[in-house]
Structure 1
Amino acid sequence: MEETSYKIERHIDALDGVRALAIMLVAWFHVWEQDWLTPYIELDNTVTRYFGITESNIHTIVRFGFNAVEALIIVSAVVNFLPYARSIVFGEKWPDTRSFYKKRAIRVIPSYLLCVFIMFTSGVISGAYAAHGGVRFAVKDLLSHLTFTSTFFPSVYRSAIITGALWTVQVEVIYYILLPFLAKAFRRRPAITVFVLCAVGMISGNILAYHAGDPWGVNNFCTTFAGSYACGMLICMIYYTAKKAGVENRYTQIAGVLVMIGAVLCYNMIMEQFYEVSRPIGQLLKRFPTALTISLFILGLLFSAEPIQKFFGNFIFKFICVISYNFYIWHQAIAVFLKNHRIPAWEGETPPNQLGDAVWSRKYSSIVWLTALTVSIVLTFGFERPISRYLSKKMKIR
């Protein structure tokens, strides 16, 4: 084992910031779907007017915030592939597959099953399943979610009562299962492995976009994220290889910042293109370019100046990451529940956001964020962590 490997971190703090910001952006999009609040700020000061800037409008970034899921998939790939990358680069012991599966299961399954159980029970009690195909559809919905395969069944995926962001968890679980095998393939044939993954992602995306009938049922099919996962694996290898070679200096830091800026500009350009196509078609066709720009941003961040990396690794982002799993799987369901139950109160048949009632929208938005954060904190520290400690002790996992 290389002695220098001990000096290189096993957890990259800056990735916490990327994950936190991505989750917040996805959540902002889901809340925006309900409140229609445009993130517009009028800038009325001498400095900005001098440069011709009179407003700040990030509506495009928020409106297409669902694309931030790509960042979550990539960060997941980076974090989970790191031990394998260390083994390849530094000669450390190859990670144990059974241990990896156990750790992932303990982290993911308990909170996921709790969410599925609550949503399914709610659907049965409220009569939602009776209005969507009855018992047969209820069984399909439940089984597809218990097996993490709802995206394999377009008719179920589109009409699922067990909804929210659970499909993302399902995609990640599929890649958790595949990762040990992908890592072995990468160790033997890195170029071929990356090429195949990227090809699978792009080809499946194009096929589903143009030949799958209704793209809304397949826009988040697992194969279309293969290129995103390949990008995450490459980030690990580039990062650790550069660390081992000791190539970091002020010039690489400057280059890192420039790459970050360029990636943000490219990302915004890709988001602008979503105005020209339907959402599912845009997702399928733009998924890989989006993944590339996000990957470049992450790479730039990892080689940027230390203050920037420390900002992305600050304690606020770290705390968001701690509660992020429960926040992610519950925030959309909470937003829809509150609006459907007229919280805050509103009268008539037309929702206030559709009538331009900004006061109601702001109240609603505040309640959603506060409720989602509160629920996430309670579930994380009152359920997820105690269960995780118990199962880890039971399975003798450190």
Structure 2
Amino acid sequence: MRDSLPVNAGRRYFAAADVLRILCIFTVAWFHIWQQSWLDPSFRIAGHYFDLQRIVRRGYMLVDLTLMLTGFLLYRPLVRAGGRIADVKGFYYRRLCRILPCYLLAVLVAAAFVLARGRAVGSAPLWRDLLTHLTFTHTFSMDTYYWTSLNAALWTVAVEMQFYLVFPLLARAFGKRPALTFSLMTLAALVSRALVALRAHELSLWLNQLPCMLDLYALGMLAAHLLEKRADAPRRWVFFPLALLALFGAFAVLWRQNAAGDAEIKMAQLLWRLPLGVCGAAFLYFSGRAPERLDRVFGNRAVRFLSAISYNFYIWHQFLAVKLKEFHIPAYVSEFPQMSEGRAWQTKYTLLCFAAAFLLSAALTYLVEKPAGRALLRLRARKEKV
């Protein structure tokens, strides 16, 4: 009987969102760690050979789905209200409480490492790096984005913060005219990417700017809109295989990538961004139409925990991987251990990177992010009472 409940009857938690977030961030992290280790991601099970290299080497593409997921999660609670945010200042403040504590820590720690390596405190490039990171504008310049001396993974946070800034307007427009707003956001992204493609020598800078990402956010918002509008529809098992098929489609996009050369790889990412986003949005929609018992299975404590620490895992994993290698952990002799130390070193290093990122992200989530967020929210509540 419970499998016939409405899509969102009496629940706020959505396990599929956590599952997708974990899969995406793990795959992105695997790619970044593979860049340092060159560990061949192939293995045998029961005599069958599996080679995941084509997935791992294009793992960075799944960052796109984390942005699509943001659009879904932000807009879903607003569908019934027509996209209107009752307290826009409160929305901005809550986003800052969620993002800033660990983000600022990541920036300051990275800056400390730069200074420890001999960079002068008054260095103009360092201050430019710091100021643009503190204002979430570091994606606008190659020096502070692609060649940053701080934490390379933080570019995504800048794009997200830029989207938060315009989200209240987009949400209100989506609530009033969903089809038109979705079409305009998608058109804006396609036109932006077409203009970027015409300037191929600058792909690295312009590929991941917010205008080129708007269709991803629009797809997430559309999935949320359609799901909430079908809130009273029966939840049926037929949607579960459709969700799996959509998820398979997302990884199939990665699998079929065989471009060589930096410009060709980035051009392929531009071309496949929309199909990848469609697969991710379809996974969320079909998962939301599947039976409720799947939420109880996939929304277990382990999944919720991994999802909770995923933000810190994302912003720290690449920085840790680079620093571990820089400090010869695990020990190696040659200049390029990924080429000369063999599979034993590659495996040990890869496992250590994942373990270190996991432990640090868990500690920072529960010792910094959550306590700081609660303290900042209490501070605002006290000020409002005065």
Global fold match (TM > 0.5) = yes
| 2:241 pairs with one of 223, 234, 258 | 258
Question: Structure 1 residues 265 and 377 mapped into 2: Cα distance closer, same or farther (>3 Å)?
Answer: closer
Q: 2:97 aligns with which of 96, 99, 106?
A: 106
CA contact (8 A) 1:18 1:312 kept: no
Deviation at 1:206, TM superposition (A): 2.2
The equivalent residue for 2:117 is 126
Could you tell me how far 1:105 is from its partner in structure 2?
0.7
Listed one character per residue, the Cα deviations across residues 328-376 of structure 1 (whole Å, up to 9, x for unaligned) are 111100001001111000002222x213611111111121111111111
CA displacement at 1:142 relative to structure 2: 1.1
Shift of 1:21: 1.7
User: What's 2:275 paired with?
Assistant: 289
- Aligned partner of 1:168 in structure 2 is 156
In structure 2, the residue matched to 1:378 is: 363
**1:345 aligned onto 2:331:** yes
Q: Aligned partners of 1:158 and 1:129: how far apart in 2?
A: 21
Aligned to 1:323: 309
Structure 2 unaligned spans of 5+: 1-5
- Please report how far the alpha carbon of residue 88 of structure 1 lies from its aligned counterpart in structure 2 after TM superposition: 2.6
Aligned partners of 2:8, 2:19: CA distance in 1, in Å? 24
CA distance in 2 between partners of 1:137 and 1:61 (Å): 36
Flag structure 1 segments of 5+ consecutive residues without an equivalent: 46-53
Give percent identity, aligned residues only. 31
Counterpart for residue 106 of structure 2: 115
SS of the equivalent of 1:160 reads coil
Amino acid at match of 2:380: M
Equivalent residue for 2:180?
192
* Correspondence list, 1:20-35, <5 A: 20-35=22-37
2:69 is equivalent to residue 69 of structure 1: no
Q: 1:15 is matched with which residue?
A: 17
CA contact (8 A) 2:42 2:52 kept: yes
- Contact 2:16–2:288 (CA under 8 A) maintained in structure 1: yes
Equivalenced residues, count = 375
> Which of 78, 83, 94 is 2:77 aligned to?
83
What's the offset of the Cα at 1:155? 3.4
Q: Would you say 1:365 and 2:353 are equivalent positions?
A: no
Contact 1:201–1:288 (Cα < 8 Å) also in 2:
no
Q: How far apart are the structure 2 equivalents of 1:108 and 1:300?
A: 29
Question: Which 10-residue stretch deviates more, 136-145 or 332-341?
Answer: 136-145
Question: 2:3 matched to which residue of 1?
Answer: none
TM-score (norm 2): 0.90
Structure-1-length-normalised TM-score: 0.88
Distance 1:16 1:95, change over 3 A: farther
Q: CA deviation at 1:156?
A: 2.5
